[in-house]
Each structure stands twice: as structure tokens, then as C-alpha cells.
Amino acid sequence: MSILIRNGYVIDPSQQIKGHRDILIKDRRIEGIYPRGKGPKARMTIDASKCVVVPGFVDMHTHLREPGYEYKETIETGTKAALRGGFTSVCPMPNTDPVNDDISVTEYMIREASRLGYASVYPVGAITKGQRGEELTEMEMLKEAGCVAFSDDGRPVMNSLIMRRALEYSKIFDLPIISHCEDINLSQGGVMNEGYVSTILGLRGIPKVSEEIMVARDIALCKLTGGRLHIAHVSTEDSVRLIREAKRMGLNITAETCPHYFTLTDESLMNYDTNLKVNPPLRTSRDVEAIKEGLADGTIDVIATDHAPHHYDDKNREFDTAAFGISGLETAFALSLRLVDEGVLDMNGLVSKMSINPARILGIQKGTLKPGAQADIIIFDPEREFTVDVERFYSKGKNSPFNGWQLRGVIVKSIVSGEVYEWE
């Protein structure tokens, strides 16, 4: 089966392509890229006029909740939501039940995802058994089973010695350690950013330093060990500054942020809306600006979703006891596209941060339209507007603070391994 995508404006940062091209897909792989109108005939033709054609996005920070929390999300609903949002590959974090600290869980996730055929799944294995922060997992076996990185995401590795060992040991496999930076003694009991707004609302605060101290610690350990460190969900000005300095020193460090950290501030919490409760918490406008600068100057390599779907009952309750997290897969791209309108990133930069950059960090052959690569392609209409409607999410998690927002940039088609999904 061959497919020709015609007349689209193709952006592929992995090959410095920016312009009108035709793309031929054959046997689920990219066959070739041709000047506009020069693509050969195919069994099926997709007209991508007025649309942009890019490599399928890679979300290196997703919570699919299965196994264990299927009432919040399943691999089926999560990977379908991913495709809807333009992500043809997702990396589920290991905080499932049981934790993904064992190859049986890793293999289950991959098998289930490939049976379904929506987005591809590249699991992140736990750093420590049971994510308890005490003993390292069997990283070699997890890697063989398909894990592409290690993280105890959802909680930090508080013990600095264990973190040191993780950074040292994972070097053998050249896989990154993804650090959830949070000093839980400093953040304990907190439910939002500590600052003027938490003072007004009388909610317990999570200080910025609870993140920054751990970023600084992990940078020091990265320097000591030469391991590969990736900082998850960067949310503060000083975290950006620390990472920038670490990169200047030439350390093996990368970082990601999420759309809510460059879109919202803690001011939006004034009405105690639990859909805005997320960890790390929404910070201040200064932090938002710093994160944009970090994205612009390359300090932050990746835009990930930290898609954290929850059941309605987990959110529709007291703010203090409501679950942390935002259902992000189906809004991430349109929110990120605003960075292009604002001049923070150009389209090429944005696509890099959502495709080739995470793919390279994880060492997976994704995020590119190079001939021979699996045909994972996204076609979007950059001008079309839409209104976010959580009831139309494919994700089970309707917990989005962006419900009702008017956004621009509609994903028209998602192609995963040559399989075309058309959205309406």
C-alpha cells in the first residue's frame, strides 16, 4: 500500500526541510520526499494543501494509568488521545500499579499498545523498585524489554546516594535518568505554588526551591558521575538558570517543560479550580517568562505533556485532597503553537522540541521523515480555530483547565506506521 501526501508545507528539522514537498509512504515507511508536484503516483493520495506536514510528535512524559488505574485512563484511550493530539509515540511513566519496575509490566504495555495500533508506546522504567527510592531496578532487563529511560516520576529519588548510583549505573546502557525534582520535605502538604496567591487563598504552598534544590543536586551528581540526566517538567525561573549554566559547563543534561508551565500562572487559581492543581504547581508570570526564554535559547530541549488523566471524582472535591495533574495530550500542540505566534519559537524550533529532540534523548528512531523511517506523520491546519471541549476528548481524563479555550491549529490527520487517522 502506498500513500502520497501532496502539496503540504513540510517541516522536518531532522533534515532541515522547510518548504512545499510531496511525501511518499510505502509499506508503512517513508519512501521518499520530492519537490511539490514531483511525487510519484500512489494507491492513495492525501491533499495537504494549506496544511503543514511534520514528523509525528514524541511525548516523553505521559501517564497512561494502565495497569492499575484503568478508571482514569487505559492504554487504549491514552494512545488514541495521543494520536488525536499529534503524538505518534508516547512514553508512559512507571507509576502504575504494579509499578513498571519489572519486565512483565513493560512487556504488557508494549504488547497492548501494539495490539491496538494507535500511538507507539516506549515505556519509562522505574529507577528504584516500587519507586520506593531504595534499590535500583534491573535496568538491563528493563532496557531489553523496551524501556527507553528511567524515572521515579511522581516522586523524587530523595536519597542522593541512590540517585548517584542510578546516574552511574544507567551509563552502561546510555539511557537517561529522568528526574522529578522535588524536595518532599520542603513541598510537604503543599497544593499550589507558594507565594502571594497561596497567601491570599490560605492554601499550603510548594516553594520554588523544593524544585530548584533538587535540580541543583542532580546537576552536581551529573557532573560527578557523567551520567545522562533529563530534568522533567521544569517550572521555575531558577531551574531554567541552573540548567542553562549546567549546559554551559558541558554537562550531559537535557530538560523538558509542559504547556501549562508557559501558559498559566498561579493567579488562575483564585477560584479554587482543582483542574489547575498540578505538580509541580503553576508558578508566576516571571517563571512563565523564564521558561519561554529557556525554550527560545535551547536550555529546554523538549515540550512534553505530563498528561495526567484523572477521574471526575478525583478532581471534583476539596482542593486539598483533589488529585494533581492535567489531561494534556489533546491540547498540548495547539497551546505550544501559541509560542510561534508570540515569536518565542519558530515553527521549526517548535517541531524539534516535540519530535526529533525527545526522540534523540530517548535514542529511538522517531521524530523524523527520513526515508526508511516508520511513517509517523502529522498533518495540521495552522490557521483553523477550535474550541477545547473536554467532552470530546478521547482521553478518559476530562481534567483540563483549558476547557472552553479558543485555540488555533487543528490536527487534521495523524499517520502512524502508515495507518491514516482522519479527525473531525
Partner 1 sequence: MSVMLRSKDLLGIRDLTPEEIKLIIDTASGFKDVLKRDIKKVPALRGKTVVNLFFEPSTRTRTSFELAAKRLSTDVINFSVPASSVVKGETLKDTALTIEALGADFVVVRHSSAGVPHFLSRILRASVINAGDGANEHPTQALLDLFTIRAHKKRIKGLIVVIIGDIAHSRVARSNIYALTKMGAKVRLVAPSTLIPLEVERLGVEVYNSVEDGIRGADVVMTLRLQLERQVKGFLPSPEEYFNLYGLTTERLRLAKKDAIVMHPGPMNRGVEIETEVADGPQSVILEQVTNGLAIRMAVLYLLSRRRRTR
Give catalytic residue positions: 306
Nearest C-alpha neighbor of 148 from the set 173, 115, 185:
173
Does 71 interact with partner 1 (rule: CB under 8 A)?
A: no
Q: Is 201 an interacting residue with respect to partner 1 (CB under 8 A)?
A: yes
Q: Cell numbers at residue 234, please? A: 521544569
Under the binding rule (CB under 8 A), the answer on residue 202 touching partner 1 is yes
Nearer to partner 1 (CB atom), residue 317 or residue 392: 317
Shortest distance (Å) from residue 197 CB to partner 1: 9
Least Å from the CB of residue 209 to partner 1: 12
Dump the DSSP string for 110-172.
Answer: HHHHHHHTSSEE-PEEPSBGGG-SSSB--HHHHHHHT--EEE-TTS----HHHHHHHHHHGGG
Rule CB under 8 A: choose which of 41, 321, 391, 424 binds partner 1: 321
> By C-beta, is 173 or 272 nearer to partner 1?
272
Q: Minimal CA–CA distance to 246: which of 226, 263, 266?
A: 226
Note whether 200 binds partner 1 by CB under 8 A: yes
334 phi and psi angles, rounded to 5 deg = -65, -35
Q: Does 199 help bind partner 1 (rule: CB under 8 A)?
A: yes
Work out how close the CB of 319 gets to partner 1 at its nearest, in angstroms, rounded to a whole number.
4
Binding of partner 1 by 313 (CB under 8 A):
yes
Q: Are 150 and 142 in contact (CB under 8 A)?
A: yes
- Of 197-205, 216-224, 342-350, 383-391, which part binds partner 1 (CB under 8 A)? 197-205
Q: Choose between 245 and 313: whose C-beta lies nearer to partner 1.
A: 313
Query: Which of 272, 386, 421, 423 is the binder for partner 1 (CB under 8 A)?
Result: 272
Phi then psi dihedrals of residue 296, to 5 deg:
-65, -40
Question: Quick check: 352 and 339 in contact, CB under 8 A?
Answer: no
CB of 324 to partner 1, least distance (A): 15
Beta-bridge mates of residue 32? 24
Question: Cβ contacts of residue 391 below 8 Å, gap of 6+?
Answer: 398
Under the criterion CB under 8 A, does residue 317 sit at the interface with partner 1? Answer: yes
Query: How many residues form the binding site for partner 1 (CB under 8 A)?
Result: 20
- Residues belonging to the chain: 424
Of positions 198, 327, 352, 400, contacts partner 1 by CB under 8 A: 198
Please name the residues in contact with 161: beta carbons below 8 A apart, sequence gap of 6 or more: none
Q: Cis omega before residue 40 (within 30°)? A: no
Cβ-based nearer residue to partner 1, 201 or 420: 201
Is residue 205 part of the contact set for partner 1 (CB under 8 A)? yes
If binding is defined by CB under 8 A, does position 195 make contact with partner 1? Answer: yes
Residue type, 359: A
194 binds partner 1 (CB under 8 A): yes
Nearer to partner 1, 16 or 185 (CB): 185
Give me the residues that bind partner 1 (CB under 8 A), please: 194-196, 198-205, 271-272, 313, 316-321
